[in-house]
Amino acid sequence: MTTTDAAHVAITRHRLALLLLGSVQTTLILTLATLAVPLPLIAREFDLERADLILLSAAYGLTFAGLLLFGGRLADRYGGRRALTAGLVLFAAASAAAPLATGIGTLLGARFAQGAGAALIAPAAMAVLRTVFPSPTAYGRAMATWGGLSVLGATAGNLLSGVVSTLLSWRWTFAVPLMVAGSALALTPRLLPDTAPSRGRALDLPGALLATGGITLASYGLVVTDNRPWSSAGVLVPLLGGTALLAAFLYIERRACDPLLPPRFLLHRRRSLALTAIALSACGTAMTFVVLSLHFQQARHWSPLQTSAAFTPFAVALIASGRAAGPLIGRYGARAITAAGLGTGATGLALLALTGLDAHTAYVHGPLPGLVLLPAGVAASFAGAAVLATEGVPQRQTGLAGGVLNTAMEFGPTVLFALLLTLGSDAWSLAATGAAFAVAALLNHRTK
């Protein structure tokens, strides 16, 4: 084999590895939205109360967000490919069990297990990606692509869940996660390189327990504000308990020899702003899907299929912007593209708040402009922020970077979503999210 042939084979292998890891990452977020549309169907089948539905909708995200930091440490400690394989086994097993559920208990257990598997997979996939692309330039280009995969997964999840649950059954919505996990397990030994473990690193179990418990409790407390007042024990107890655990976590981490989350890792100015941009972008996407899905079906009386079709321009704009983000980052820099993306997203949210929620305004003149500008901005901001969040991170902390990035993506929207819903108006919530986008864009633009 000539040198040219060997180089061509290596490039092809790297592209296939990126495709495999990207498909897995997209599927993790797609799974988060799997049950969003068919929740009313599940409620009727299992005779569930509203509280059961809230817990069911949050189960996957609770364990996903709560275990991400520990998943990142496991990936760094034992090697990315080993942690990825373990996570895929758990994720596949849970995805196979979920459609066989005969009651809420079994389905809840499967969703919790799916989230635990995802918390291992997400940071491990980023650790493996760093091994596939060891060059900082190549890794930066890969992260620019990686940044848009999560919002693409959320979009695909909302679109597919409505179509599949209408034409087949809600149980079939778990087919995609199961097939992707099974395929990834089969292809991982062939396409992904082994990653060297950091045997000298401790696991920091006290920090892991405090972080997992704190994030999970706080997330649950914020989620249940949907049907309980902030002053109720059901909200205050988990919120205060979670806050106390997180405070204890920060105290311990400052004194640990090998902390789970080194404080200096988050204090890096560009990284902290990048994580803020990721959290806001994820929140804007989640808020838009919830608000517009309800608006289309309740105010405009559209079917789930019509609602899914209405989000098609969102998906098209998202993909187009995501493909353009990489070259633009290479030309203008990640910070400039992140700021431009946040500004564009803020404009899209403002349009949705002003005209998109008027049931008497035609779709083309009402929601459509915002449904194009928002994803265009979100894809760009995600891509730029992913590059900024991982810039300069040593290889031994790649799993940590993946855990932190995905935690911002999962926990951030939970916090912002709960706070914005207290405004009591969908339009005000969208407008407030847009204002936060604009402020973040201004801060990002001024950061040197």
Task: Check which CATH number belongs to the domain holding 34 and give it.
Answer: 1.20.1250.20
* Better-scored residue on pLDDT, 400 or 200: 400
- Out of 218, 239, 259, a domain closes at 259
Q: What is the mean pLDDT of residues 264-282?
A: 79
The verdict on 176 and 39 lying in the same domain is yes
pLDDT in tens, 303-328: 777 877 888 888 888 888 888 888 88
pLDDT of residue 436: 56
96 confidence band (pLDDT: 50, 70, 90): very high
* Domain annotation covers residue 362: yes
Is 267 exposed, middle or buried (CB count within 10 Å of its CB: 0-12, 13-18, 19+)?
Answer: exposed
- Same domain as 275, residue 412: yes
Instruction: Note whether 25 and 60 are same-domain residues.
Output: yes
Is residue 5 one of the residues assigned to a domain? no
Round the average pLDDT of the chain to a whole number and report it: 80
Question: Which of 215, 243, 259 lies at the terminal end of a domain, its last residue?
Answer: 259
- What pTM was estimated for this model as a whole? 0.79
* 131, pLDDT greater than 80: yes
Q: Is residue 3 part of a domain?
A: no
Say if CB 85 and CB 408 are below 8 A apart. Answer: no
Confidence grade of residue 422 (pLDDT, cut at 50, 70, 90): low
- 196 in a structural domain: no
Together in a domain, 253 and 272: no
The answer to whether residues 157 and 288 belong to one domain is: yes
Confidence of residue 178 (pLDDT cuts 50, 70, 90): very high
Write out the residue range of the structural domain in which residue 244 sits. 205-259
Question: So what's the pLDDT on residue 192?
Answer: 87
In a domain, 200, yes or no: no
Whether residues 288 and 399 fall in one domain: yes
Q: What is the pLDDT of residue 226?
A: 65
Distance CA 299, CA 422 (A): 21
Same domain, 84 and 128: yes
Same domain for 381 and 337, yes or no, is yes
Total domain count for the chain? 2
Q: Are residues 246 and 372 in the same domain?
A: no
pLDDT of residue 254: 81
User: Residues 209, 347: one domain?
Assistant: no
pLDDT attached to residue 256? 76
pLDDT at 86 over 90: yes
Within-domain flag for 16: yes
Q: Do 227 and 324 belong together in one domain?
A: no
Same domain, 255 and 268: no
Q: What is the pLDDT of residues 289-302, one digit of tens each?
A: 777 776 787 778 88
Answer yes or no: is 199 within a domain. no
Give 383 or 435, the one with higher predicted confidence.
383
In a domain, 126, yes or no: yes
* Chosen domain end from 259, 278, 301: 259
